[in-house]
């Protein structure tokens, strides 16, 4: 027990990077996913085709590969030639990846709304932006809550992938402790940390879903 107490401060420090990546990714990828979804259902065929390719590429390749490409590959591209630090590289890879997943969730939600809703809004004199903001998106939010909840919980676990960039996140801190002390107990403590984070998110989304279900 004394050993567990002694390693908690170090693991909490590692959790800071994990939580930073999580919150920045959520804050940036959900709005971007909404914008991409609106583009996916727009009347511009070229835009739909372009975004379909983006979603196919980002969802069809491993996040770790994308992470390594952003960090190690971008500097070798002649047009780009940019080398990002570890945390900005992780943010870019995670936001682009999760925006693609959120895009498909929002697109499915938007397309699930009956066309009569659009026609009714048009009859009331609303333009496309007003229709989306006042009529469609509020209904979509309720529909997409369960899949968004699943993706958010998955993100907590995916943050461990920044281990490959040698960032001092929770997983890397855990491994360092195991190698230093020849003790597997840090693995158990790390599992508890991840479980607590997912438990908090599950509780929050369950409360939100129950709040919306009161209006059914």
pLDDT digits (tens, 9 = 90+) for 91-144: 999 999 999 999 999 998 888 888 777 778 788 778 777 787 777 777 888 888
- 77 phi and psi, to 5 degrees? -85, 120
Helix ranges, 62-131 (H): 63-68, 86-111, 115-123, 128-131
Please state, in angstroms and as integers, the Cα–Cα distance from residue 166 to each residue in 18, 157, 205, following that order: 13, 17, 32
- CB-based burial of residue 44 (10 Å sphere; 0-12 exposed, 13-18 middle, 19+ buried)? exposed
Q: The pTM is what? A: 0.88
Q: Of 173, 190, 187, which Cα lies nearest the Cα of 13? A: 173
């Amino acid at each position: 027990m004394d050993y567990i107490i002694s390693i908690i401060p170090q693991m909490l420090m590692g959790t800071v990077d994990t939580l930073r990546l999580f919150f920045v990714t959520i804050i940036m990828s959900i709005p971007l996913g909404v914008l991409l979804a609106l583009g996916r259902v727009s009347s511009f065929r070229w835009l739909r085709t372009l975004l379909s390719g983006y979603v196919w590429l980002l969802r069809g390749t491993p996040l770790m590969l994308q992470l390594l490409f952003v960090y190690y590959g971008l500097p070798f591209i002649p047009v780009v030639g940019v080398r990002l630090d570890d945390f900005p590289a992780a943010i870019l890879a995670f936001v682009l990846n999760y925006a693609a997943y959120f895009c498909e969730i929002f697109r499915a939600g938007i397309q699930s709304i009956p066309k009569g809703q659009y026609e009714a809004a048009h009859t009331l004199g609303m333009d496309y932006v007003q229709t989306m903001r006042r009529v469609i998106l509020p209904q979509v939010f309720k529909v997409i809550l369960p899949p968004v909840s699943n993706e958010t919980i998955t993100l907590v676990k995916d943050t461990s992938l920044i281990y490959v960039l040698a960032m001092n996140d929770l997983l890397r801190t855990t491994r360092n402790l195991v190698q230093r002390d020849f003790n597997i107990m840090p693995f158990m403590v790390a599992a508890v940390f991840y479980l607590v984070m997912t438990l908090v998110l599950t509780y929050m989304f369950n409360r939100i879903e129950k709040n919306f279900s009161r209006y059914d």
